[in-house]
Amino acid sequence: MKAVRVLEYGGQLVFDNIATPTIARDEILVKVKCTAVNHLDLVKASGTVRQILPIDLPWIPGHEFSGVVEQIGSDVTEYAPGDAVFAANETGGAYAEYLAVKQAVIAKKPASLSFEEAASVPVASQTAWQGIFTHGHLENGQTILIHGGAGAVGAYAVQLASHAGATVIATASGHDEAYVKSIGASRVIDYREAPFEKVLQEKVDVVFDLIGGDTQQRSLLVLKEGGHLVSAVQPVSQEEATRHRVSGEMMRLAPAGDVLARIARLLEEGTIRPDVATVYALQDAAQAWKDIAGNLPHVHEMSPSGLGAARRTSHGKIVLRVA
């Protein structure tokens, strides 16, 4: 099969022919139609996080995909060859024509979504779901502050929180204000113009941090006592959280087919919507990485593969069409 691989940390992406994977009893062989690009692909490949997120080299990137079931293991009961599916998976492998994946992380692709749209959904939407509900315990009537509300994860967090009956405040660039309001934020604070903690008049129940650093630190100032600070990017100081009488934790996506199936229903009924910015062919994965590398200065500096400095100017995910 054709696949894009990383042969060494910090190396070029190589497009070549390799053996098609075999499946275990609880796995499904998916013929991949589309995959999407995530920061995690670049970060893992750069080697900067090899101590905490090691990869087996050579490595096929790609933590989410849409496709069609080609073959099922003997223990697989929920799916049959020909089913259109989508999923996120922790180990990567989707920049390829075929992928072996556990039944437990898969869900049926919403019929209303194209394969391109479906591939853009699993990582960002499940991260948002688990961040705000599983870890943030967000409830109807509460107020949430979402940092990075125009980004891939942030946009799902805004939509899901709004659908759950929360009041949503988001930080974003000014040029994304109309977009973030259109998907459910009642208020957008331009992070380039004003410090959010000075602008906010009320305290919030939950902060979902997709930015980290100083933004995370200042978030402690705007939480109600007993509130939750959930970060998808950086650990939260327990000392600081206790001092502000809030809970704080870093979350990591745990792909789950049942969560994705619930998200699929919301997509099917049009309650939430995907956002695809660009579609490339699989063999142009290196160009797609250049497009998002501008948001990752540390990766850009470290990679000898010449990841460009182009900065994304619009929201939405970059999708790779495989078949």
Ligand X SMILES: NC(=O)c1ccc[n+]([C@@H]2O[C@H](COP(=O)([O-])OP(=O)(O)OC[C@H]3O[C@@H](n4cnc5c(N)ncnc54)[C@H](OP(=O)(O)O)[C@@H]3O)[C@@H](O)[C@H]2O)c1
- Binding residues (CB under 6 A) for ligand X: these are 39-40, 123-124, 127, 147-148, 150-154, 171-173, 191, 210-211, 215, 232-233, 251-253, 295, 312, 315
The one-character DSSP state at 206 is E
**Residue for token digits 């974003």?**
172
**Which phi and psi angles does 319 have, rounded to 5°?**
-115, 145
Q: Which is nearer to ligand X, 98 or 208 (CB)?
A: 208
Q: Which is nearer to ligand X, 99 or 188 (CB)?
A: 188
How far apart are CB 155 and ligand X at their closest, in Å?
A: 8
**Residue for token digits 């939430």?**
272
Neighbours of 253 (CB within 10 A): 24
**Residue for token digits 């208020």?**
187
Q: Which is nearer to ligand X, 20 or 295 (CB)?
A: 295
How far apart are CB 106 and ligand X at their closest, in Å?
A: 18
How far apart are CB 24 and ligand X at their closest, in Å?
A: 24
Q: Which is nearer to ligand X, 154 or 248 (CB)?
A: 154
**Residues 145, 136: contact at Cβ < 8 Å?**
no
In the sheet with 167-172, reading across from the earlier edge strand, the strands are 187-190, 167-172, 143-147, 204-209, 223-231, 247-250
Amino acid at 40: L
Q: Give the residue nearest to ligand X (CB).
A: 151
How far apart are CB 68 and ligand X at their closest, in Å?
A: 25
Q: Which is nearer to ligand X, 121 or 253 (CB)?
A: 253
**Residues 47, 107: contact at Cβ < 8 Å?**
no
How far apart are CB 57 and ligand X at their closest, in Å?
A: 21
